[in-house]
Structure 1
Amino acid sequence: MNIKEKELSHVNKEGQAAMVDVGEKKETRRMASARAIVVLPQEVMSLLKDGELWGKKGPVIQTAIIAGTMGAKRTGELIPMCHPLGLESCSFDTEWKGNELTIQCTTKIESKTGVEMEALTGASVAALTIYDMCKALSHDIVIKEIKLLEKRGGKSDFKREA
C-alpha cells in the first residue's frame, strides 16, 4: 500500500481532529524504543563523562532520565490525540560516541494502543533536560535527532535499519 492510499487516523470524515476509538481493539503486549542524540561541546562532554558535572538542579544525566520518565508518563497530556496510558515500564540507556550522548528510551505496556509516542516523548524530554542543565556552560549544544527505532505489538511491527 502506498502512502496515497493511507488515511490519517486522527482525522475524522469531516476533516476534524479526533482521538482514535480503540474500544473494540484487542489488548496486546506493546513495546517501543526511541532515540535522541545530544551533541555537546568538548569541554561540557568531558565534565559529563567524568561525572564531575552536577548543576544546581542535580546530577545531569540522572536528572535527565528522571525527567524523561516523567515525560513519557505524561505523554497523553502533551500530545492532544494521544491516549492516556499507564506505562508498565519505561527504561533508559545512554551511550557516549565522541561528543555525542545517545539517549534511548524504551516503553512497554499491555494495551489496545501503542507506546511509540511515550518512547519518543521520553527520549525528547531527557535530551531537553540535558540542554537545560548544561546551557549555562554553553549554548553550543545541539539535539541532533529524535526518532523511533522500533515498535512491536498491535497491527504492525517496525524496526529501523541502522
Structure 2
Amino acid sequence: MTAPGEEIHDSPTPWVADHIRAYLETDGAQGHLYQGWPTLLLTTRGRRSGRLRRTALIYGRDADRYLVVASNAGAVQPPAWYLNLTAHPQVAVQLGADTFTAQARTATPQEKPPLWARMASIFPLYDNYQTTSDREIPVVILAPVTPDPTPHP
C-alpha cells in the first residue's frame, strides 16, 4: 500500500493527532486503549490527493477481521477516511506494535446487524449517532491480507 519513504499525513484534528503521536511513540502502549475503548490506526490513500492519511478509530473483532464504524458522530457526511477507503480499499492498520495490510469493505445489509451490535456494545454512542442521523452509518470490515498480528482484546 505504501512506497518506502512515502509521507503519511495524520488527522488534522488536534486531539486525534495527539492520540496518533502517542500511539506511534509507544507502539500502542499509550493509545491502544483510549478512554477505555480499543483503538487502531488506519491509513488510507486519499481519493483525490493520493496522499496517505492516518487516523485513530475504535475497533472490534469478528473472528480474524477487524471492524470500524464510519459514524463521523452521526454527521450528514461520512468521515473522509471512509470515502478514501471506498475509492482505495487496500489500507494499512496498526494494532499496538503490529502493522498489516488489510482489504476494507462495507458490511452488506445482511451482515451489518450483528456487527453493528458488536460495535455498539463497545461504544454505545454509535446507537445514538444512528438514531439522530439521516444516513445509514456503515460498519467497515478490515480483512488482513498479510498474516494477522497477535490477537488483541
TM-score by length of 1: 0.28
TM-score by length of 2: 0.29
Task: Say which structure, 1 or 2, has more relative contact order (CA 8 Å, 6+ apart).
Answer: 1
